[in-house]
Structure 1
Amino acid sequence: MRIRRVITTRDGGSSAAPFDSFNLGGSVGDDVAALAANRRKLAEGIGLAEHRLVWMEQIHGRTATVVDEPRSEAVEATDALVTATPNLALVALVADCVPVLLGDPTSGVVAAVHAGRVGARVGVLVSALSRMRDAGAQLDRVEALIGPAACGECYEVPREMQSDVEEHLPGSACKTRKGTPGLDLRAGLWEQLAGAGVAKIGVDPRCTLESTELYSHRGESGRTGRFAAVVWAEPEEDGA
């Protein structure tokens, strides 16, 4: 199998401000027709039928759900999706939280994870890896991409919160650019992946608070769109 991954930006869509313009989030207050057009464009852009994109009703929890066929509605109350079905694209929506895209090219098992501060703290990535293993993946074959998110230099939090997250997600505590307590969730998640035996880990270094091509919930006072992190397994052509 070939593992395919896509990270969208906020450019090139149909949504008006403050969701301009390629918003893919369905619960932010965007125009319904604009959202539908954007989701159609995403499907066309990655070369899959629109119904083969599976979305989540993300709630900042630790639940990881296995899906084996298209869904007409977003999967309820989950923050990670896992599948072994080829050409079934799993979507995580983010705007400061960390998207993690996982795939085992041998088994074809893939996962999309939405890891915000709360979800990362309570172990949503651990849940996803466990469900992947149950579905036939081997963690030492899994390739991971940690996507764009609020960086540690920008993500300021109270010291008590920093200490609490660090206790549950070691490696995440840091100092911000201002010298105040911060969180680098991507660093903590990287350590969690490495500790689980995942050998190939890539990181998209973009910060959502600094990059104008990405949405940021914190940077835009809570009223903004969501970009997507998408993963699917594509069968290789015979002889490839």
Structure 2
Amino acid sequence: MYWYQTTVGPAHVGFTNRGAGNLALHVGDDHEAVRRRRAALESQLGVQPGSMLYLNQVHGNTVADAEQLAAGVVPTADAAVSTTGRPLAVMVADCVPVVLVGQDPGDPRVCVTAVAHAGRNGFLDGVLEATVDAMRTRAAVRIYAVVGPSVCGDCYEVPEQMAADSELRSPGVRAETSWGTPSLDLPGAAVRRLQEMGVDVDRPQDQPTVACTLENTTLFSHRRDAGSGRIVGVVTVPEHPGANLGSDQQDGAVEL
């Protein structure tokens, strides 16, 4: 069910694998089956059914405020932040998923959690910077990030012009595939960008399965299969009241 799990302070961080099934409603899968899988994930995490915040991800840099959203509402955003321990999820199938936890060593009451979807456009447009800024405005002093599985620089082939343009905007992101063509190393660039912002980064590399979604068939990959499902990166704070947000759905709610 999980590619990787860890704890950061009071928070639980995890990245699912294909064992948890497709968790996205927008990829042509049966919606009831997806809802059952989501419910199973929430049950396994020990959070209230329907409390997990999912996003309508559009490769942008908008950060949603989880405390401003009723259960069942899905904001159009590529990141989310919570100060109440609300369960957060980020969906990926090649893009870089980042889960973050922020604390204040001088105030144990502070626990700010966040997720970010760092695809090429979102990364270059500053989604990671926007997420870290949102956490710091909410009193996070020390921030810890876990970077999940994504397509690697050896496999993420792009046109020459895209590689050149991306390198101008983010020096060091350009790479080369294992077969010698232009590529982008988004996970490596995400790690560097986070570290430059003073974030402590965990990029799990000692796992028994490789971190590249294209190479690892236990993970979903849009590049390998255009109809691919989605894994999720999740963060919960089990002891926080916000983790048990009610599941009444607001009028006009959108599901993904």
TM-score of the pair, normalised by structure 1: 0.88
The reply on whether 1:126 has 2:129 as its aligned counterpart is: yes
Q: Which runs of 5+ in 1 are unaligned?
A: 13-21
1:131-181 per-residue CA deviation (whole Å, 9 max, x = no partner) reads 11111112xx11111110000000011121112222222321111101111
Counterpart secondary structure, 1:108: strand
Aligned to 1:19: none
2:229 to 225, 229, 238: 225
Aligned to 1:216: 221
Aligned to 2:64: 65
Aligned to 1:161: 162
Size of the aligned set, in residue pairs, is: 222
Question: What is the alpha-carbon distance in structure 1 between the residues aligned to residue 102 and residue 134 of structure 2?
Answer: 13
Corresponding letter in the other structure for 1:96 = D
Aligned to 2:97: 99
Aligned to 1:189: 190
Q: Pairwise mapping of residues 171-186 of structure 1 onto structure 2 (< 5 A)? A: 171-186=172-187
Question: What is the alpha-carbon distance in structure 1 between the residues aligned to residue 133 and residue 223 of structure 2?
Answer: 31
Counterpart secondary structure, 2:36: helix
Counterpart secondary structure, 1:142: strand
Question: What is the alpha-carbon distance in structure 1 between the residues aligned to residue 23 and residue 31 of structure 2?
Answer: 11
Which range moves more in the overlay, 144-153 or 202-211? 202-211
Aligned to 1:117: 120
Question: What is the alpha-carbon distance in structure 1 between the residues aligned to residue 42 and residue 22 of structure 2?
Answer: 14
Counterpart secondary structure, 2:154: coil
1:204 Cα deviation (Å)? 3.2
1:73-103 per-residue CA deviation (whole Å, 9 max, x = no partner) reads 34321000001002x1110000000000110
1:11 Cα deviation (Å)? 1.4
Equivalent pair of 1:82/1:112 in contact (CA under 8 Å): yes
Q: Which runs of 5+ in 2 are unaligned?
A: 1-8, 105-109, 206-210, 241-256
1:4 Cα deviation (Å)? 1.2
Question: What is the alpha-carbon distance in structure 2 between the residues aligned to residue 47 and residue 195 of structure 1?
Answer: 35
1:68 Cα deviation (Å)? 1.5
Aligned to 2:18: 10
Question: What is the alpha-carbon distance in structure 2 between the residues aligned to residue 163 and residue 232 of structure 1?
Answer: 38
Aligned to 1:50: 49
Question: What is the alpha-carbon distance in structure 2 between the residues aligned to residue 210 and residue 204 of structure 1?
Answer: 16
The reply on whether 1:204 has 2:208 as its aligned counterpart is: no
Equivalent pair of 2:88/2:114 in contact (CA under 8 Å): yes
Corresponding letter in the other structure for 2:18 = R
The reply on whether 1:24 has 2:7 as its aligned counterpart is: no
Equivalent pair of 2:64/2:75 in contact (CA under 8 Å): no
**1:133 to 1:79, Cα distance in 2 relative to 1, 3 A:** same
Query: Identity across aligned pairs (percent)?
Result: 37
Query: What value does the CA root-mean-square deviation take over the aligned residues?
Result: 1.5
Equivalent pair of 2:50/2:72 in contact (CA under 8 Å): no
Question: What is the alpha-carbon distance in structure 2 between the residues aligned to residue 208 and residue 132 of structure 1?
Answer: 28
1:35-79 per-residue CA deviation (whole Å, 9 max, x = no partner) reads 111001110111111222111011110101111266333432100
Equivalent pair of 2:61/2:125 in contact (CA under 8 Å): yes
Question: What is the alpha-carbon distance in structure 2 between the residues aligned to residue 94 and residue 74 of structure 1?
Answer: 19
Question: What is the alpha-carbon distance in structure 2 between the residues aligned to residue 47 and residue 170 of structure 1?
Answer: 42
Counterpart secondary structure, 2:191: helix
Question: What is the alpha-carbon distance in structure 1 between the residues aligned to residue 130 and residue 228 of structure 2?
Answer: 29
TM-score of the pair, normalised by structure 2: 0.83
